[in-house]
Structure 1
Amino acid sequence: MCQNSRGFTLIELMIVVAIVGVLAAMAIPVYQDYVARSQVHRAYAELAAYKTSVEERLSKGQYVISNADLGYVASSVTVAASGDIASFLSDGSGSLQVTIGGSVSSTVSGAQVSILRSVSGVWSCDIDESGAGAWKSFYMPRGCF
């Protein structure tokens, strides 16, 4: 009697399920880190988009800049830290600041993103991660400290 085997045995299927489970256990945390990183980068990019509008107003001598002047609208990853996101002095120095919040990962929620302008007009980035849940240096955009 010749017996042809067709399909997979139960042991073979269990091995495949175990391998997929191990791969998923390694991949899910890495994926979540990349999601959190992309949310931080998105918050920074949204805030950086207002630099041009700020420069325009500062060149006209307007140092009190409201959210309405900038056209700021809170997104799903940013909220205004307190009141207006722009705060500038008469010498042109100041900052744009938002808090990462809304529908973001709990590891980055609460971090404050600031883009600072010096008197000479040089912009720099600062992220205060003390309010975030489990911040990793991996989340930091290039050029920020």
Structure 2
Amino acid sequence: MRIPRITNYANSSKTYNKTINKNGFTLVELLIVMGIFVVIASVSIPLYSNWQPDSQIDTAFAEVIETLRLGRNRSESGLNNASHGVYFLVSESGEDSYVLYQGADYASRDVSLDREIILNNALSLTTSLDNANINFSKGLGEPSATGTVSIINNNTDEIKIISINSLGIVNST
């Protein structure tokens, strides 16, 4: 907050007090503030662009783990008196996805209950699972196959691996 400055003006034998009120900013102040914004932006943009790909693979990695665990938990609890599983769709076009389904296998599933998650184009999937499918038995949650699911960041070549053991336990490595 600026304090008004009082200036004395002498006119003949009388003294007049005039208040000078300076509202607004000077050009120098505006240029300094704009310069600060430019410096902050030039530092922030490269940091954000490096952080974003890491964030994408971390998010996808966590979502795949959650989906596998959800399929196992639904099977163990006998949700809808059915087994559940996850099917990985590895596409040549680069739009990989995976589906949480209900049923004895992917081919005989209840399509109306599918939950499909499509990966960002910067990410891709590979799997060592037979037919890219894992189904957890109703009541026990035992997997139909064991193996790994890998998520690859195509921009940075970073790889995150998820393993499923014979007890159906999902681990990240």
Superposition TM-score, scaled by structure 2 size: 0.45
Shift of 1:121: 4.2
Corresponding residue of 1:123 = 170
CA contact (8 A) 1:43 1:113 kept: no
Structure with higher strand content:
2
C-alpha distance in structure 2 between counterparts of 1:115 and 1:26, whole Å = 35
**Local SS of the residue matching 1:25:** helix
Structure 2 unaligned runs (5+)? 1-8, 10-17, 76-86, 90-98, 100-105, 107-113, 135-142
Q: How many residues align?
A: 116
1:56-135 matches, within 5 Å, as 56=75, 67=89, 69=106, 73-76=117-120, 78-81=123-126, 85-86=132-133, 92-100=145-153, 106=155, 108=156, 110-126=157-173
Aligned with residue 45 of structure 2, among 14, 17, 28: 28
Larger of the two Rg values belongs to structure: 2
Give deviations 1:69-122, integer Å, cap 9, x for gaps.
2865532254333796458xx995311233335xxxx4x4x4333211234544
CA contact (8 A) 2:161 2:172 kept: yes
Structure with higher helix content:
1
**Percent identity for Structure 1 against Structure 2:** 21
Corresponding residue of 1:53 = 71
Corresponding residue of 2:23 = 6
Superposition TM-score, scaled by structure 1 size: 0.52
C-alpha distance in structure 1 between counterparts of 2:127 and 2:146, whole Å = 19
- Root-mean-square deviation (CA), in Å? 4.3
C-alpha distance in structure 2 between counterparts of 1:96 and 1:31, whole Å = 28
Structure 1 unaligned runs (5+)? 57-64, 127-145
CA contact (8 A) 2:162 2:171 kept: yes
